[in-house]
């Protein structure tokens, strides 16, 4: 079957991050995950305590670098390994662990600009919460956006209020929407994180989250599969209630339906979860990340479908 999707030069039928970077920068671009030593307002009592129920102690930053090392050391460690395969690659510093705008601006500036000084760094991705960006921080991000390729990643996870309360997000949908608008008013790129398979959510709930996001001015999305990991409140809930965990087949079906609803220009930064094997309790099929990705590709070909096919703008 002929691939009808225009944002691809491979068998992919959705707008991959790799394709986007190659077209924009005419180069291989590698994101290097970093741990800036930040905490989270949902842990220290500012807006909540204990964090989201699925968060580990590393704050959803399992691959975010070793906070005991400097940002320079973290960066060079990964870069030296990657440069053996891609000698002429460009790099984006990815502040991943915890809430990476949750500090005074002078501290943010020191950390961000330390990474920007590294050779061949063309931008930053900064993962944060919609309730953790002050007006002063927005001003600085606007300034930073004029100097480098900046992307702010906002966690949403779901639009269903009951689920948001259950997972202890501790911010409202209005707060999220307002922050997206503030960032876009300053022409800052926005990528949203969502999670499929949250406790008690239906397929309709998961599709509704994507339908809602499709109406917002966002540039990218990260689709995660819920992973129950050790030493989290989610583990306790799962042991107690044994809520349904999506099968791989269910997950693939839902992701494809979500992709069909999304505008074709929205970049898919992630399409499955990536938990550490030693921490994972369920679902075990998540361990085979690339198999899941390949199965999504195969099923999209089988259905002769692609991102945006059923998009209603």
pLDDT in tens, 133-142: 999 999 999 9
What are the residue ranges of helices labelled H in 186-288? 203-214, 233-241, 248-261
Enter the pTM of the model: 0.95
**Can you give the residue ranges of every domain in the chain?**
17-303
Query: Taking 80 as the threshold, does the pLDDT of residue 61 lie above it?
Result: no
Relative to beta strand 280-282, strand 228-229 is: antiparallel
As a whole number of angstroms, the distance between CA 239 and CA 66 comes to: 30
Read off the pLDDT of each residue in 41-53 and give the average, rounded to a whole number: 80
The C-alpha angle 16, 97, 220, rounded to 5 degrees, equals 25
Distances (CA, A) of 50 to 39, 54, 100, 183, 184: 11, 10, 17, 27, 30
Question: Which helix (H) or strand (E) covers residue 302, if one does?
Answer: helix 289-303
Q: Which residues of 178-215 are buried (b: 16+ CB within 10 A; e: fewer)?
A: ebbebbbebebbbbbbbbbbbbebeeebbbbbbbbbbe
Q: What CATH class is the domain 17-303?
A: alpha beta
Q: What is the pLDDT of residue 59?
A: 54
Question: Which helix (H) or strand (E) covers residue 305, if one does?
Answer: none
Q: 10 Å Cβ neighbour count for 167?
A: 23
Read off the pLDDT of each residue in 214-232 and give the average, rounded to a whole number: 96
Q: What is the pLDDT of residue 109?
A: 97
Read off the pLDDT of each residue in 226-242 and give the average, rounded to a whole number: 95
Please name the residues in contact with 232: beta carbons below 8 A apart, sequence gap of 6 or more.
53, 54, 55, 56
Please, which pLDDT band fits residue 63 given cuts at 50, 70 and 90? low
Q: What is the pLDDT of residue 40?
A: 87
pLDDT in tens, 161-211: 999 999 989 799 999 999 999 999 999 999 999 999 999 999 999 999 999
CA dihedral 60, 63, 68, 74 (to 10 degrees): -140
Lowest-pLDDT range, 22-26, 54-58, 122-126, 229-233? 54-58
- Closest of 67, 61, 64, 59 to residue 32, by C-alpha: 64
pLDDT in tens, 177-188: 999 999 999 999
Query: Taking 90 as the threshold, does the pLDDT of residue 68 lie above it?
Result: no
Lowest-pLDDT range, 50-59, 66-75, 97-106, 261-270? 50-59
Q: What is the pLDDT of residue 161?
A: 96
140 with 108: CB under 8 angstroms?
Answer: yes
pLDDT in tens, 139-157: 999 999 999 999 999 999 9
pLDDT in tens, 78-121: 999 998 889 899 999 999 989 999 999 999 999 999 999 999 99
Q: What is the pLDDT of residue 251?
A: 98
As a whole number of angstroms, the distance between CA 300 and CA 10 comes to: 13
């Amino acid at each position: 079957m002929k691939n009808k999707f225009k944002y691809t030069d491979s068998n992919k039928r959705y707008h991959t991050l790799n394709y986007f970077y190659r077209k924009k920068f005419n180069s291989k671009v590698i994101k290097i995950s970093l741990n800036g030593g930040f905490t989270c307002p949902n842990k220290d009592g500012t807006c909540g305590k204990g964090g989201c129920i699925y968060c580990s102690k590393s704050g959803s930053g399992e691959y975010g670098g070793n906070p005991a090392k400097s940002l320079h050391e973290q960066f060079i460690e990964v870069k030296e390994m990657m440069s053996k395969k891609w000698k002429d690659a460009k790099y984006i510093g990815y502040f991943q662990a915890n809430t990476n705008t949750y500090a005074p601006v002078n501290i943010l500036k020191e950390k961000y600009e330390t990474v920007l000084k590294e050779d061949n760094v063309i931008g930053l991705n900064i993962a944060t919460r919609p309730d953790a960006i002050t007006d002063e921080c927005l001003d600085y991000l606007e300034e930073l956006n004029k100097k480098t390729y900046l992307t702010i990643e906002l966690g949403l996870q779901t639009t269903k209020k009951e689920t948001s309360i259950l997972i202890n997000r501790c911010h409202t949908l209005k707060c999220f929407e307002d922050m997206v608008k503030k960032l876009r008013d300053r022409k800052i790129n926005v990528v949203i994180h969502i999670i499929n398979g949250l406790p008690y959510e239906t397929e309709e709930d998961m599709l509704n989250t994507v339908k809602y996001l499709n109406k917002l001015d966002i540039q990218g999305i990260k689709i995660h599969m819920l992973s129950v990991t050790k030493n989290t409140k989610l583990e306790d809930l799962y042991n107690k209630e044994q809520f349904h965990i999506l099968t791989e087949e269910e997950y693939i079906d839902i992701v494809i339906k979500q992709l069909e609803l999304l505008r074709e220009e929205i970049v898919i930064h992630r399409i499955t979860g990536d938990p550490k094997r030693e921490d994972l309790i369920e679902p075990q099929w998540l361990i085979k990340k690339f198999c899941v990705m390949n199965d999504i590709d195969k099923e999209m070909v089988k259905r002769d479908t692609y991102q945006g096919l059923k998009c209603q703008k």
